Chains A and B, each alone.
Chain A
Amino acid sequence: MSNIKWQYADHWRTPSPQGPINQFASMREMDRFIKQIASVGLTGIGMFAWNLGAISAMFGSLRSYREFLADRGIEKIVDLFWCAPQASPGMELHNPEHAGRVVGMLEHFVRLADGLEVENLVVMPAHCYTDTQPVTAERIKVLADVWNRAGRMAAGHGLKLGCHHEFWCGIRSQEEIDLFYAHTDSDFVHLYIDTAQHVIAGVDPVALYEKYASRVNGFHFKDTRHVDLVEDYRSLPDPELVARTTPRWFYEMGTPGGMVDFPALMRALKRHAYQGWIGVEHDKADIGGGSYPESTALAMWYARNVLSPIYS
């Protein structure tokens, strides 16, 4: 059995007579989406937690959805992803008084997925940088406390909590990441590495993995052609869309000019005998005429022909 299984992370949009639509538009579109990702060798799927409701409505239950997936070659939902990019008066991740609300809301999603063998609850561990400021050691400690609680809650339901650090997240630099993991419980708070996001933030994902290998519970493998050199991460409302220097941040693995050293990362995974899922993600792949289906096929061509021979 292979050590690595590949899963696909939810982002999807394709042309239709109604304009661009995603897989939640209809059962037919979901069918086409799942068949497309299964066709290129993906066997799991990551989902935004807030889409579980749409899935239940479409299929009657999440168990029915799992059967639908299995019939098309997809084993299961592997990850649930959640984030709160903006702070709001009633929901500040770095406000200790709101911790119960945060954990309770996440437990709602985790309970929905009970029995589905979902493996990871993946979160962005802070609001965007601008809304998290001032990013102080004290504030990072507060955030660590929230995620320690959430991690214990998730573990109680059989899930590992993984923190996914967007380049524009309140915890983004190597120093901030190190401080955060120093304050979090290694049994309950894991690191979920998004290769492109770390590179954009100036953090080497290979070195990051080497440092935290024992705490890593998953990956999003995607590439970028840019490092944020001018504090684009502070852009509002969404640095992934409105940064003044870079209209498109993310590309599929193997893209010309890609800055992520995936072969080096694969060699590191082999050294540490990583076993588990790797997520393929194509956030905003259609900016500038790109295509989610093509990016997915190209990424899996790269995974199969370049990465798997290194470690599979």
Chain B
Amino acid sequence: MTLRYSYGLNQWNAGHDRFVLRDDHVRAFKTLNACGFDSVEIPCGSGRWEPLGRKDWIEKFYGSIRGLKDVMADCGITAVSSFIFNPAEPIFEEGAFGLSPLEPAHHGRILQTLRQYAAILPELGGDRLVVRALPDWSANHVCDTATMQLAADCWNAVGAMAMREGVRLALNFDCVTMARDEDDMAALLDLCDPAAVGLSVDTADAAIMGLDPVALYRRFAARVIHVQLKNALHRDDLGEYRLPFPAKFMLGGGGARHIARWYCELGDEDGLVDIAEFRAALAAGGYDGWAVVESDQSPEPATSAMLNGWYLKMRAAA
């Protein structure tokens, strides 16, 4: 197994007007490097407050992709492992306010948007484009073959485009997506070209959904090409993924139980995920690729990075 760690910048990018200044980026890069990380995952974004979120904004803010790469390198960050994209997020530059892989009319726009990320990833040292595979749960949609074929058509096209750039597409299923179990995920994966489209396993989101991330990995080991490694404190026992805007009302607002924080650091004593067991499963499955450490909703990003770095150095390596 060759496991290469990266770190999600999303924990710093906690919404509008945050993580905009170049100095903010430099401090995050140096913090991560001090904690033992040399690669980052960047969330795609839109608007003037997302200077890392799109190719055009990177070029405006850093002069060029090379400019960003040089700044990262000065801080000890040698690669952007991956970009992660949610088609439902607004893309102001393109007049898009909620694209969906279930809408055939949106497929061309999604493909066009994602071209920029596939094009710049190799220059940045990365090779994974991670996408939110399906929309939020909705009473109007089920994961039947016809519906999954719509999504598969979209992702197969994106995957083929990305593959031509030397990038592979990984489908990510978070805890509020319409796919609720392994069979739902399989329904989509089975319709996607294995050469171009793989699976991104998110350990914490799987746990929040009530799934066993180890079992999830084992079932799909041959298709797993990206891992998001994080821990979770709570399961969605109330089925609050059905709430409107679940990313806000459930994950942000805490739902009916007013949960202050769903996610936690890898070695947290209250964490639901046995990270050591998951790593052992990756080793047994011969996983060869990125493991992107994340700390969504971190109240103190540096603390999360330091605790995660400590865990990987002092416990996971043992």
Q: Is A301's CB under 8 angstroms from B31's CB?
A: yes
Residues of B within 8 A of A298 (CB): 27, 30-31, 34
Contacts of A38 in B (CB 8 A): 310, 314
Q: Is the CB of A297 within 8 A of B302?
A: yes
Task: Tell me how far the C-beta of B24 lies from the nearest C-beta in chain A, rounded to whole angstroms.
Answer: 11
Say yes or no for B115: interface residue by CB 8 A criterion: no
- How many A residues have CB within 8 A of the partner chain? 26
In the assembled complex, B260 has its CB within 8 A of some CB on chain A: yes
Chain A nearest CB from B317 CB (Å) reads 12
CB proximity to B under 8 Å, residues A274-312: 291, 293-294, 296-298, 300-302, 304-305
Chain B residues with Cβ below 8 Å from A111 are: none
Residue B122 lies at the interface, judged by CB distance under 8 Å to chain A:
no
User: Which residues of A sit under 8 angstroms from B267, Cβ to Cβ?
Assistant: 35
A302 contact set on B, CB distance < 8 A: 30
B303 touches A32 (CB 8 A): yes
Q: How far is the CA of A28 from the CA of B264 in the complex (A)?
A: 14
Give the residue of A14, A32, A72, A293 whose beta carbon is less than 8 angstroms from that of B314.
Answer: A72
Tell whether A297 pairs with B300 under 8 Å between CB atoms, given A36-B307, A39-B35.
no
- Return the contact of B35 from the options A15, A73, A291, A297 (Cβ within 8 A): A297
B233 at interface (Cβ–Cβ under 8 A)? no
Q: Mark A4-30, 1 if CB is under 8 A from B, else 0.
A: 000000000011010000000000100
Q: Is B53 on the interface with A (CB-CB < 8 A)?
A: no
Is A297 a contact partner of B306 (Cβ separation < 8 A)?
yes
Contact between chains at B300 and A40 (CB < 8 Å): no
Minimum CB–CB distance for B119 against chain A, Å: 31
- Whose C-beta in chain B lies nearest to the C-beta of A32? B307
Complex-state Cα separation, A38 to B269, whole angstroms: 18
Identify the interface centre among A38, A297, A305: most chain B CB within 10 Å of its CB. Answer: A297
- Return chain B residues, CB-CB under 8 Å to A293: 300, 302-303, 306
**B279-318 CB contacts (< 8 Å) to partner A:** 299-303, 305-307, 309-311, 313-314
Picked from A41, A72, A73, A291, the residue with its CB within 8 Å of the CB of B300 is A291
Contact A297 B76, beta carbon cutoff 8 Å: no
Are the C-beta atoms of B309 and A40 separated by less than 8 Å?
yes
> A residues within 8 A CB of B311?
35
- Contact status A14-B76, CB under 8 Å: no
Kindly state whether residue B171 has any CB partner on chain A within 8 Å. no
How far in angstroms is the closest Cβ of chain A from B19? 13
A21 to chain B minimum Cβ distance, whole angstroms, is 12
| Chain B interface residue count, Cβ-Cβ cutoff 8 angstroms | 26
Please, how many angstroms separate the alpha-carbon atoms of A298 and B35 in the complex?
Answer: 10
Residue from A32, A256, A302 having most chain B Cβ neighbours under 10 A: A32
B36 engages A15 (CB within 8 Å): no
- Which of B27, B299, B301, B313 has a CB less than 8 Å from the CB of A39? B313
Contact B303 A36 (CB under 8 A): yes
Residues of A within 8 A of B313 (CB): 39, 73
Given A36-B310, A39-B313: A15 and B302 within 8 A (CB)? Answer: no
A124-158 CB contact bits vs B (8 Å, 1 = yes)?
00000000000000000000000000000000000
- Which chain B residues lie closer than 8 Å to A291 at the CB level? 300, 302
For A39, A40, A293, A302, which residue has the most chain B Cβ atoms within 10 angstroms? A39
Q: Which residue of A lies closest to B311 (CB)?
A: A35
The interface residues of chain A lying within 8 Å CB-to-CB of B147 are none
Q: Does B33 contact A (CB under 8 A)?
A: yes
Q: Which residue of A lies closest to B32 (CB)?
A: A297
Nearest B residue (CB) for A37? B306
CB A96 to nearest CB in B, in angstroms, measures 47
Q: How far is the CA of A129 from the CA of B19 in the complex (A)?
A: 42
Residue-wise, chain B 29-53 has the 8 Å CB interface mask toward A (1 for contact) of 0110111100000000000000000
Quote the shortest CB–CB distance from B2 to chain A (angstroms). Answer: 23
Pick the contact of B34 from A28, A35, A301 — CB < 8 Å?
Answer: A301
Task: Name the B residues within 8 Å of A17 (CB-CB).
Answer: 260
Pairwise interchain contact A305-B303, C-beta atoms closer than 8 A: no
Q: A16's closest neighbor in chain B, by CB?
A: B299
* Most B-side CB within 10 Å, residue of A28, A72, A300: A300
A-B contact pairs, 10 of them (CB 8 A): A32-B307, A36-B307, A39-B35, A39-B307, A73-B314, A293-B300, A294-B31, A301-B34, A301-B75, A304-B34
Closest 4 CB pairs of A and B: A39-B310, A294-B302, A293-B302, A36-B306
User: What residues make up the interface of B, taking CB atoms closer than 8 Å to A?
Assistant: 23, 27, 30-31, 33-36, 75-76, 260, 267, 269, 299-303, 305-307, 309-311, 313-314
Given contacts A35-B267, A297-B302, 4 further A-B contacts (CB under 8 A): A38-B314, A39-B309, A294-B301, A301-B30
